[in-house]
Amino acid sequence: MDSILYFLIGFFIMSGIYSVFSVGLNIHWGHTGLFNIGIASFFLLGSYTAAIISSPPPSLEKYEEYIWGGNLSQLSVLGIDIWFPIILLLSAIICILVAIPLAIITIRLKEDYLALVTLGLAETLRIIFVNETWLANGTRGLYSIPRPFDFIDRGNYDYIYFVVVMITLLFVYFIAEKATNSPWGRVLRGIRDNENTMISSGKNVLRFKVEAFAFGAGIMGIGGALFTHGKRFIDPITFEPMLATFIIWSMLMVGGSGNNRGAVFGAFLMWGIWTFTQFLPGFLSDANLRFVFVGMIIILFQLYKPNGVIPAK
């Protein structure tokens, strides 16, 4: 019984992390109509930023090869790990710094170009982290990444991390709701539905799009950092497009784009399907059938229910 509960907690942790990505993608696609198929690039940047800054400097005993470890995880005030929110913030900032120039180059062009550039960036970043072993230990990856609040209960750490993830998710959700219900968010939806109307009402459309892209990328960076401290191991294979991009798209499609509640719901539903289909008998549990399933979800929802299960108001 205990092991089942522990498994479920692990499932909720991953669902919560994917919900953060889904909310971030929702800012891009659901609210602004930005076609980003390189979620993996912000996932990777957020994850590696968090891992490198929080880990201790490389030492000979561990044979770890990376350029620098921030060792920020030693920073705690009155027994509270205040380094964790700082890491989340730094991961978000790095993603935003990468997103802004990228957006400025491509967003003024055809909308598909953003997709191609984000796709290329994800692939390029992964190759860089594979080849430059001095940067972050190459394909061997970074491991034993520090975890926040682990002094409370090391044995049953997942329960604590579950709370950490849920609080972060609530925080991200709250910010996303606030932003998208503000006048700023209304302009974004206006751009999505009819760009020319927004131009004619005097809005600087390019600027709003860049802001939205940076905002969503920042949220994805937070998701990446959450993932790192949950898994405690990252390597370039973690950021293959299937689990780092496509599944997040299917989550948003199921839940309903343009609606933050839908994004969270879709993340839990799709991750549930992804996790629990591995217990199906025979060939049904084949991981590749899940690929087919994710692809079909995207196609079928685009064809028959483009607004998802929980449509936007």
Partner 1 sequence: MKYFDIIFENKTILLLFWIILILSLMKPWLFVNGILIGSLYALGSIGLSLIYGNLKFANMAHGDFMTLSSYVALALLLFFFPNSEQSPSVGPFTFKYELLIIIPIAVVLIGFLAVLFDKLIYKKLRDLGAAPAAIALTSLGLAVGLRGLIQFIWGTDSTSFPRESKLFWDLPFKVKIPPDMFFCAIVAFIIAIAFYFVLFKTKLGKAIRATSDNPDLARITGINTEKIILYIWFIGGILAATSGILISVQQAIITPVMGWKILIPLFAAVIVGGIGNPIGALMGGLLIGITGELATGWINPSYKPAVYFLVLLIVLLLRPNGILGSKGRQF
Q: Provide, rounded to whole angstroms, the least separation between the CB of residue 202 and partner 1.
A: 23
Rule CB under 8 A: say whether 130 interacts with partner 1: yes
Alpha-carbon dihedral sign for residues 307, 174, 189, 18: negative
From the number of C-beta atoms within 10 Å of its C-beta (0-12, 13-18, 19+), residue 104 rates as middle
Interacting residue with partner 1 among 65, 123, 195, 235 (CB under 8 A) = 123
Contact indicator for 272, 251 with CB cutoff of 8 Å: no
By CB under 8 A, name the one of 62, 112, 207, 237 that touches partner 1: 112
Is 113 near partner 1 (CB under 8 A)?
yes
17-76 residues in contact with partner 1 (CB under 8 A) are 33, 35, 37
Q: Where are the alpha helices (DSSP H) in 232-309?
A: 241, 247-255, 260-276, 287-304
Which stretches within 26-82 are classed as H helix? 39-54
According to DSSP, the residues that pair with 136 across neighbouring strands are: 66
Kindly write out the interface string for residues 79-108 of this chain, putting x where it contacts partner 1 by CB under 8 A and - elsewhere: --------------------------xx--
Q: Report the residue number, 91 or 250, with the smaller CB distance to partner 1.
A: 250
- Are the C-beta atoms of 200 and 206 separated by less than 8 Å? no
In contact, 64 and 187? CB cutoff 8 Å: no
Strands 142-143 and 233-234: antiparallel
- Give yes or no for residue 312 binding partner 1 (CB under 8 A): no
168 binds partner 1 (CB under 8 A): no
**Out of 27, 51, 53, 121, which residue is the one contacting partner 1 (CB under 8 A)?**
121
Q: 124 vs 182, which CB is nearer to partner 1?
A: 124
Q: DSSP state, 181?
A: T
Q: At its nearest, how many Å lie between partner 1 and the CB of residue 274?
A: 12
Q: Among 248, 199, 272, which residue's Cα sits nearest to residue 7?
A: 272
Please report, as ranges, the residues that interact with partner 1 according to CB under 8 A: 33, 35, 37, 105-106, 109-113, 115-117, 119-121, 123-124, 127-128, 130-131, 241-242, 246, 249-250, 286, 288-299, 302-303, 306
